[in-house]
Structure 1
Amino acid sequence: MKKIILTVAAFFAFGIGTGFAAPINNLANGQTAVGYLHDSLYIEHKLNNNLTLGLEKHDIYGQYAITNNIRAIIGSRDYHSDSSIYVGAAYNTSLAPNIDGYVSLVGSSDFAEAQVGANVNVAPNVDINVDYTAFRPDHGSDRNRFGLGATFKF
């Protein structure tokens, strides 16, 4: 456990990754997910039936489960300097046995971001994540990309 935490902390400290990269994970109460997607590590923990908190390099966020399939999202991008508070929503559903699909949309006065993806359960507590993310900043160039990553749940 200490090795996982130290590895995650090292990646955050050395500045790997940009943007909101975390997929929409289904976690059990008290479960933690550590994952990698779009050149970024993230960690999130489900505190109770409705609330999940997460952290990655540029984001600190919370997801509140409104129903089993719909979540409200609130977060702060670049929380360590000039931050931008964002809000959004996500929807997830089972697409096939061992495959969950999701769509999320978050935005602030500085950007809008949409993500569509799927989590494929390949082993107990291990998912492969595939997604497409469209990022539209108010200033600068749009960034659209496909991603492939993995999530470990414990």
Structure 2
Amino acid sequence: MKKIILAFAMFLAMGNAGVMAAPVNTLANNETAVGIGSKESYIEHKFTPKLTVGYQYADRDEYDHQNDLYAQYDLIGSNFKAVAGFRNHLPNDKSNGYGGVAVVSPSFLGSQLYASYVKGNDFGETQVGLNVDVVANVDLNINYHNFDPDSGHHENGVGVGATIKF
């Protein structure tokens, strides 16, 4: 538990590091993932064989920063997940609950493809990416992200990041 708290504090302190959304990870029961990317940092923990809970800090170009509290529930193995969460600091200072889905490919040569889509009352967000095992418990993530708020400008782009699992 001390490792989780220390890692969480470290990545919150680095939260202003410089797309966008946490990658979709496949975690073992009681495993934690801590990651940082082009414009985000996150921590998530798999509490039961099917339930992962996480927090993400995202630095948006136009909308400052956004905080997400989210849960993923494995519906079919670890490859098809339901996603639910809450995001604040949306355009016009709104906050929304959201829901969606995530799909993860089976691991192939130390890599996994993934795609996710979430929708709230005031935004939609799509992400596709690739997680690649670099060394034991460390992944590199490459992704394309599209954040589309109902009011304001959308943001999209390619991002990279790293995840440590323990």
The residue number in structure 2 matching 1:9 is 12
CA distance change for structure 1 residues 112 and 19 in 2, over 3 Å: closer, same or farther? farther
The residue number in structure 1 matching 2:149 is 137
The residue number in structure 1 matching 2:112 is 100
Shift >4 Å, 4+ stretches? 17-20
User: Identity, % of aligned pairs?
Assistant: 40
Residue 4 of structure 1 and its aligned partner are, at CA, apart by: 2.2
Give the letter aligned to residue 102 of structure 2: A
Contact 1:29–1:47 (Cα < 8 Å) also in 2: yes
Aligned residues: 150
The residue number in structure 2 matching 1:127 is 139
Give the letter aligned to residue 145 of structure 1: G
Deviation digits for residues 94-129 of structure 1 (CA, Å, limit 9, x no counterpart): 362100000000011100111000100011100000
Q: More displaced, 59-68 or 31-40?
A: 31-40
Tell me the distance in 2 between the aligned counterparts of 1:52 and 1:60: 11
The residue number in structure 2 matching 1:49 is 49
Contact 2:55–2:68 (Cα < 8 Å) also in 1: yes
C-alpha RMSD over aligned residues: 2.0
- Give the TM-score normalised by the residue count of structure 2: 0.83
1:116 and 2:128 equivalent? yes
CA distance change for structure 1 residues 65 and 113 in 2, over 3 Å: closer, same or farther? same
> 5+ residue gaps in structure 2?
58-66
Residue 21 of structure 1 and its aligned partner are, at CA, apart by: 1.1
Tell me the distance in 1 between the aligned counterparts of 2:80 and 2:152: 31
- Give the TM-score normalised by the residue count of structure 1: 0.89
The residue number in structure 2 matching 1:60 is 69
Deviation digits for residues 56-103 of structure 1 (CA, Å, limit 9, x no counterpart): 121000000001210000000018x84200000000013621000000
